[in-house]
Every structure is written in C-alpha cells, then in structure tokens.
Amino acid sequence: MKCLYCGEMIILAIGWTNLLSREDEVLLCDQCTKQLVPIEGEVCARCSRPFEGLAEEFQKGELCYDCVRWEEHAEWNGVLERNISLYIYNDFLKEVISRYKFRGDYEISKFFGNELKRVIKNLEYDFLVPIPLSETRLYERGFNQAEALIVEAGLNHANVLNRNHSKKQSKKTRKERIGSDNVFIFSNIEQVLGKKVVLVDDVYTTGSTIMHAARVLKDHGAYSISSITFAR
C-alpha cells in the first residue's frame, strides 16, 4: 500500500505481534509519521496547548492565558468543557491539512478518521457535531473536512449547525473574536437538549470557531460541549 501523503510504498514488518495487535490500517509511511508531533506532557487543561516552551506569564494554574481570558467573559465562561487536540500544527501538518482542505485530497481523511476513532472511544457523548462550512466554502472545497473525519471514522454525526459566510475567525483580532456576532445558526435536525455533544474540527487555532459553535449548542440546551481537533 502507498502512503496517503507522499505516495511511497509502506513496508510493514510482518509478525504475529503486529498482526494480532493492529486495529487500523497503516496509512502513512514511517517518514511521514515521524514528522507528526503528538501533543504530550503538560498541557492546558481546557485547550490542549502544550506548556513546554511556553513562558510562565502565559500560564495561570492549569490553564493557558488565552483560556483564562475566554473564561473572564461571562458570555463564554463554562461554555466549553475541554478541547482535545492530537498533534502540533507544525510545518509538515500545515501542508498535509492544506492539501486536504484546499486542494481537495479527500483520501487524507482516512488517516484523520482513524485517529478520531482512536480518541473518541475514550469519551462519553451523545452526539458528534462537525463544524459546518458556509455554502460558499462547501462549494469551493467540495466537502466538509470536519464531517469527512467523522464519516471515515465510521461514526454517526448530527448536522445541527449551519454557518453564515463571514470573515474567518482566525483573521480577526482577539477583541473582535470575543465580541463578534455568532456565525453559527442552530438547525433543528437533531435535538441536543440535555445531551453531551462533542464538536469535531481539523484545527484549533484561536479557539473562536469552537467557542462560537459551543455557545449556540449551550443556548439550545446541550448539557455539555467538548471538542476534538486534529491539530493545535
């Protein structure tokens, strides 16, 4: 089999141990896998930001200063329980995700889906909700990258959010992100009242996208909202 990213043949050492223990198909070659940096060690308890190399003034207890500032606002306090991110958003992963999202390489979602399946089995939840794209973005890309992760993981999802086309949250200042109108609209396809919801997206950058989506779900009665993102 060929690596989903670089196209090199994947050579596996065949033995009873790996035949019996492997749960998922190997989709990336060793060289590409080595360039992925898992998020490990001490991290922000809320957003998974690694504390290694982070100056002390940007930490407050078990939270990073970004999360502290979100929690200081009454509108956002307690909205999101926790974001779990899997890998550091390094140059290699930026290129992988760029090819996936903007150049339409849907096959990469198979690897992301395997990773989502690995993590989600340790969580209790009622609904997986992908972060939606606006109609314009969906037309440009051809598929919703967050929804594709769930589909390739073989999991069910609930499309309970719609999105207006607007300036990307990552392009706004912190003040604009915290104070901006919500870009998400609740659609009554599934009921979330009293349910545990896990939002799914590819990248956690500023946290604004996840927070705004969580705010809408909370306002419509969700019991708790967490999120899983592939990169941080």
Q: What is the DSSP string of 163-201?
A: E---S-GGGS-HHHHHHSPP-EEE-TTS--TT-EEEEEE
- Dig out the tokens for 68 from the structure: 């502290």
Q: Rounded to whole angstroms, what are the CA distances from 167 to 137, 146, 153, 170, 182? A: 12, 19, 30, 9, 12
Select from 1.10.530, 3.40.198, 3.40.50, 1.10.3470 the CATH code of 35-231. 3.40.50
Residue 155's pLDDT is: 96
Residue 17's pLDDT is: 47
Q: What is the pLDDT along the chain (232 residues), one digit of tens a residue?
A: 899 999 999 887 555 445 444 456 789 999 999 999 999 999 999 999 999 989 988 999 999 999 999 999 999 999 999 999 999 999 999 999 999 999 999 999 999 999 999 999 999 999 999 999 999 889 999 999 999 999 999 999 999 999 876 555 455 555 555 555 678 988 866 779 999 999 999 999 999 999 999 999 999 999 999 999 999 9
Q: Rounded to whole angstroms, what are the CA distances from 42 to 45, 50, 59? A: 9, 6, 11
- Say how many C-beta atoms besides its own lie within 10 A of residue 88's C-beta: 15
The C-alpha atoms of residue 140 and residue 157 are separated, in whole angstroms, by 22
Global confidence as pTM: 0.87
The C-alpha atoms of residue 199 and residue 7 are separated, in whole angstroms, by 31
| Residue 62 DSSP one-character state | T
Identify any residues that bridge with 231 across adjacent strands, giving them in sequence order: 87, 203
